[in-house]
Chains A and B, each alone.
Chain A
Amino acid sequence: MRIIYVIVKLLTLPGAMTHAFFEHMSCRICKILVEDARTVRADEMLSHIEHELVKRRGASFDICFIPFIFNLFFGIAVLCSGSVAILYLGSFKNALLWFLFYMGISLLTNLFPQMEDVMMLKENIYNGKTNIAVKIIVAPFFAVLYIGAQLERFGLTLITSVGFAFALPYILGLFVPRLYDFIMSV
């Protein structure tokens, strides 16, 4: 499984490097000590950086969520044109569109934190000291991050991101035509 994981990470290197960068950025924001910040490496730490164990609740959430949300936003924004043009409209012969498609997939494949960070988040949030309201609010985010981290361990996020690429035109279709009409009317 580790080999598959590393192969998937290497196949989606741009996204892995970007995730590592955002993880480092969130460490800086949360003043978490970084031990090794290399973004390119051929082991299971590819797409992550080595940092100290996070014992603060907020920092623990941020270190998982900030790279996730940045990669997600960038991934969708980069993927939308490739996905729409290639998968929905069927323009298969344009290299630029394929490049955009690949970049989007690579960003979306590397969304999730490593399992240790998610378990640390669980330990920090779901203990006796945390307010029940916080636990409820964080629950859906935690669920997404936990499931994503589990999938990422087996390299399955590559499949989910390709699946998402197929679904993206239909998601965009819910609001892009209305948005386009609105812009045209203004």
Chain B
Amino acid sequence: MAEENKSPENEIPENKSSENESSVHDEMEELARIFREELSKSKEEAEKAENETKSDIANGIDALNGGYEVEGYAVTMGEKTNAEPEEMCECCGERPRGTERDPNSPFCKECAAIMEKYPYDFKGILMLIAVLGTLFVSLITFVQLAPIFSNVYRGKAAYNDKKLYSALSYYSEAESYAIENEISLDFKNLRRNEILLFYEIGDDQWVSNSFQNPAFLCALTLIENTYDVEKIGDKKISEIFNNITKARANIFMLGTYESDAETEEDYNRLMAKYESLIGKKIYISDVKNFDSSTVHDELSDGYKPSDGDIAVDYDEGWVRLFQFDLAERKNKTDDMALYIKKAADASTDYEVYSDILFAQFSFDAENYEQAKTLIERIGERNSESVIYHYLLAKLNRLENKNYSAAKEICLTGLETAAASYKSYDLIAYAGSVLSMEKALNLIMLKDYSGAYASAEEAVSYQNDFYGSTSPYARDLFAILALATNNKEKYDDLASAVAANVEENGEEYDFSSYVYDYKNNKISLEEIVQSGYFDVL
């Protein structure tokens, strides 16, 4: 506006009069009025333009909102006017978030409906089918294995409880089931359990009879069949193998020196020979074939050990037991006492096996204290042992003269055998040993009819177990038939014996005790105390 007032048309010459000054003033006033009018016009136009712009923006927003009207999501013009801008679905990015169930859901309703029913991954379905198939196979396999597992599990529990015959029974059942059902899996741990068990049983006439071998040889056979004996790789089994091999080699080699030693000179020479063996080596060239061609010692003439030989030491414990045996056979009481003590001091590396023999020798040497220690040890190893019950009853009868206790021990042994072993074998074996011992105790208790019944049981069990009767059981039965006035039974036995003597010779006749008792030369108690029937 200032530029406009300075235009050439509005300029006033400086040399004009006061009239001219008045007209200029008027003109200026007129210009000011025009200026004010123009200014107010401009202001009005500006305000009008601003109002129009605001109106256009508001209309535009309304128009935009009207275009997104969705079923269930209708928003009124009035509500939207003051609302914050809407967040879109995380999945599609096109529709607003929120579902009916969860208004704060980051997904829209359509996407949520799809995601709720998201299809399963095909690979997952295939894997589930595979797992179900595997499950089926596993269950079938387990049903087949369950009887074996059950028996082995119980066998192991029985083994840990020192009930070795029960354990053997369970393992045998597991083996039988596997064979019957043609389950040809190689159960190495079952074999291992059996090896430990046979090793712990050591030697027992029952096992020898049932398995055609002493228990320790059963263990050895299983080791040879299950492991590579050159590198067993199992510390415990390796120790067992070494102990059995050593015991076996000792018994075999010491047996080769055994002789009747008829003269005193022979006796002394043999004793010295045994003594000289202590500390010497035994060489085994073929551990699977134990005979004179494969087992030698340092004293064997002309034998040179080779690199492949297994070398074991002579075990002093075994040597002492052989010396005792020789002294006993020659009835050298002093030597018997000496060597049983030396044997106790030396012990063997395989006590489980030697203790049974050692305990019986202790009875022979009338060393009851030592016998007691050994019997306790045998019982701790196998509370079901028939030998344990037999020796304990014998100890009570011979040392304590407690015949009632001895009889009860025999009954406990018989009950244990009946309860622990499912096969009749052990029951028959236990019956053949313990019924005899029970009969002897009943005689001492003067219960002759009870003793007769017990002797009859012993004869019956022996027939079942061995297929024949031992002369001891037969003779005791005959004596008790006489004692109970059962003449008919005695005559039956006597006629059978007579027939046997006629066929096989005098050694099959009754012992002198039968005839002496028949002729009233000896009493029943004296017969028992003679020790003639104290045999296994």
Chain A contacts to B: CB under 8 angstroms? 14, 17-18, 20-21, 24-25, 27-28, 31-35, 37-40, 52, 55, 74, 77-82, 84-85, 88-94, 96-97, 99-100, 103-104, 107, 169, 172-173, 176-177, 180-181
Contacts and interface: CB of A to CB of B under 8 A. Distances in A.
B49 interface: no
**Shortest 3 CB-CB contacts between residues of A and residues of B:** A90-B189, A90-B188, A34-B118
B135 A78 contact: yes
A25 to B, nearest CB: 8
Contacts of A172: 149
Nearest to B127: A17
B145 A103 contact: no
Contacts of A82: 138
Given A82-B138, A84-B145, A176-B150, A39 B131 contact: no
Contact of B124 (A24, A32, A93, A181): A24
A21 B127 contact: yes
SS class of chain A's interface: helix, strand, loop or mixed?
helix
Interface residues of B, number: 46
Given A21-B125, A37-B119, A91 B188 contact: yes
Contacts of B105: 33, 52
A57 B118 CA distance: 22
Interface of B: 101-102, 105-107, 112, 115-121, 123-125, 127-128, 130-131, 134-135, 137-139, 141-142, 145-154, 157, 185-192
Contact of B149 (A25, A40, A169, A181): A169
Contact of A176 (B128, B153, B189, B191): B153
Contact of B146 (A94, A97, A176): A176
Contacts of A27: 118
A84 to B, nearest CB: 5
A33 B107 contact: yes
Contacts, number: 144
A90 B131 contact: no
Contacts of A37: 118-121, 124
B127 A81 contact: no
A96 to B, nearest CB: 7
A31 B127 contact: no
27 contacts: A14-B131, A18-B127, A24-B124, A25-B120, A34-B115, A34-B116, A52-B115, A77-B135, A78-B135, A79-B138, A81-B145, A84-B145, A85-B141, A89-B148, A89-B190, A97-B141, A97-B185, A99-B134, A100-B138, A169-B149, A172-B149, A173-B153, A176-B150, A176-B153, A177-B154, A180-B146, A181-B150
Nearest to A25: B120
A19 to B, nearest CB: 10
A18 B148 CA distance: 31
Contacts of B130: 14
Given A21-B121, A33-B115, A89 B131 contact: no
Contact of B123 (A17, A93, A96): A17
A81 B183 CA distance: 14
A134 to B, nearest CB: 22
Given A84-B145, A88-B149, A39 B124 contact: yes
B124 A81 contact: no
Given A33-B105, A77-B138, A177 B153 contact: yes
Contacts of A24: 118, 120-121, 124
Given A33-B112, A52-B105, 7 more contacts: A31-B101, A37-B119, A90-B191, A90-B192, A96-B141, A104-B138, A173-B149
Contacts of B192: 90
Contact of B121 (A20, A74, A99): A20
Contacts of A100: 134, 137-138, 141
Contacts of A181: 150
A46 B284 CA distance: 61
Given A90-B188, A93-B186, A77 B139 contact: yes
A65 B188 CA distance: 39
A20 B189 contact: no
A60 to B, nearest CB: 14
A25 B151 CA distance: 41
A79 B187 CA distance: 17
Contacts of B154: 177
Nearest to A174: B153
A19 B135 CA distance: 15
A74 B188 contact: no
Contacts of B112: 33
B142 to A, nearest CB: 4
A172 B138 CA distance: 15
Contact of A92 (B125, B131, B137, B188): B188
